[in-house]
């Protein structure tokens, strides 16, 4: 399938089909998934999944990677992920005020992956802590790293100048789905999540967006990074 040039309603309609929306949100975890995994996630047969996936790839929302007899699908880039997150945010804010509970799973509220960076309560507290420590400066709901912050992150082993050379913005404030407040996105946000995972402070729960901190990992996180109070 080669749709060519999807217009606004076409893109929206692609996301608007429940099965496809399930697949897309499943891919929000940032991992590439196979066609069958996505069929399971959306609770449909794999024939149906195949046709949906062909449409999503044809429109350019998904990238596909063939590996042996498997086909791995992932979101095309952060822009697509950003759109999904924006829509999630909007659909939350459309809810009547008193029912805004956020995701039902408490672990998901606590810490989860938003495409490639940390979201949830911990993500928000980390972002606020970085601000309070004046490592990050937020003006007009936009963020940048301060001189003090540059020193801090470099000391943590982050090659900021390498990150800055990328096309992607270093530091972006991403509105949190469950917390209704910002967390850190951009390439620095990505680096931070990777740092937390490679130091083995936390593990990703398989097949979900949940990030699970070990008790020692949690302590280490508190020692190494400034977190705002609850």
Instruction: Give the nearer residue to a copy of itself in terms of CB position, either 42 or 118.
Output: 42
55 binds DNA (CB under 7 A): yes
Phi/psi region, residue 120 (left: phi>0; alpha: psi -120 to 50; beta: rest), is left
Question: Cβ(157)–Cβ(224) under 8 Å?
Answer: no
46 binds DNA (CB under 7 A): yes
Structure tokens at 10: 């076409």
Instruction: Give the nearer residue to a copy of itself in terms of CB position, either 43 or 200.
Output: 43
Binding residues for DNA, how many (CB under 7 A)?
22
* Cα 45 from chain centre: 27
* Cα 221 from chain centre: 20
44 binding partner (options a copy of itself, DNA, none; Cβ < 5 to 8 Å by kind): DNA
Residues that bind a copy of itself (CB under 8 A): 4-18, 20-21, 25, 59-61, 79-80, 82-84, 86-91, 93-96, 99, 139-144, 169-172, 186
Among 2, 5, 7, 47, binds DNA (CB under 7 A): 47
Structure tokens at 208: 């979900």
94 binding partner (options a copy of itself, DNA, none; Cβ < 5 to 8 Å by kind): a copy of itself
Structure tokens at 99: 């029912």
Q: Give the shortest CB-91-to-a copy of itself separation in angstroms.
A: 5
132 binds DNA (CB under 7 A): no
79 binding partner (options DNA, a copy of itself, none; Cβ < 5 to 8 Å by kind): a copy of itself
Instruction: Give the nearer residue to a copy of itself in terms of CB position, either 119 or 202.
Output: 119
Q: Please tell me whether residue 159 adopts helix, strand or coil conformation.
A: coil
Structure tokens at 89: 């945010």
Instruction: Give the nearer residue to DNA in terms of CB position, either 35 or 163.
Output: 35
19 binds DNA (CB under 7 A): yes
Q: Which long-range contacts does 65-70 make (Cβ < 8 Å, 24+ apart)?
A: 65/32, 70/34, 70/35
91 binds DNA (CB under 7 A): no
Which of 136, 167, 156 has its CA nearest to residue 201?
156
Using CA atoms, how far apart are residues 3 and 10, in angstroms rounded to an integer?
A: 10
36 binds DNA (CB under 7 A): yes
Using CA atoms, how far apart are residues 211 and 119, in angstroms rounded to an integer?
A: 9
Instruction: Give the nearer residue to DNA in terms of CB position, either 19 or 220.
Output: 19
User: What is the torsional sign of CA 142, 126, 135, 187?
Assistant: negative
Question: Cβ(118)–Cβ(192) under 8 Å?
Answer: yes
**Segment interacting with DNA (CB under 7 A) among 28-36, 75-83, 128-136, 151-159:** 28-36
Contacts with DNA by CB under 7 A lie at 17-19, 34-36, 44-55, 68-71
């Amino acid at each position: 399938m080669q749709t060519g040039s999807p217009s606004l309603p076409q893109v929206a309609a692609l996301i608007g089909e429940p099965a496809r929306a399930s697949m897309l949100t499943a891919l929000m975890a940032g991992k590439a998934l196979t066609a069958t995994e996505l069929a399971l996630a959306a609770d449909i047969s794999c024939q149906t999944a195949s046709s949906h996936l062909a449409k999503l790839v044809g429109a350019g929302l998904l990238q596909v990677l063939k590996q042996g007899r498997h086909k791995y699908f992932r979101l095309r880039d952060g822009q697509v992920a950003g759109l999904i997150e924006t829509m999630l945010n909007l659909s939350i804010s459309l809810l009547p005020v008193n029912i805004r509970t956020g995701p039902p799973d408490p672990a998901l509220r606590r810490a989860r992956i938003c495409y490639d960076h940390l979201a949830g309560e911990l993500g928000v507290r980390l972002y606020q802590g970085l601000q309070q420590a004046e490592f990050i400066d937020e003006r007009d709901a936009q963020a940048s790293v301060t001189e003090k912050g540059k020193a801090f992150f470099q000391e943590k082993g982050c090659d900021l100048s390498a990150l800055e050379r990328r096309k992607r913005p270093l530091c972006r404030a991403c509105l949190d789905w469950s917390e209704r407040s910002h967390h850190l996105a951009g390439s620095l946000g990505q680096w931070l999540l990777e740092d937390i995972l490679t130091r083995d402070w936390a593990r990703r729960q398989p097949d979900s967006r949940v990030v699970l901190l070990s008790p020692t990992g949690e302590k280490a996180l508190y020692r190494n990074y400034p977190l705002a109070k609850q």
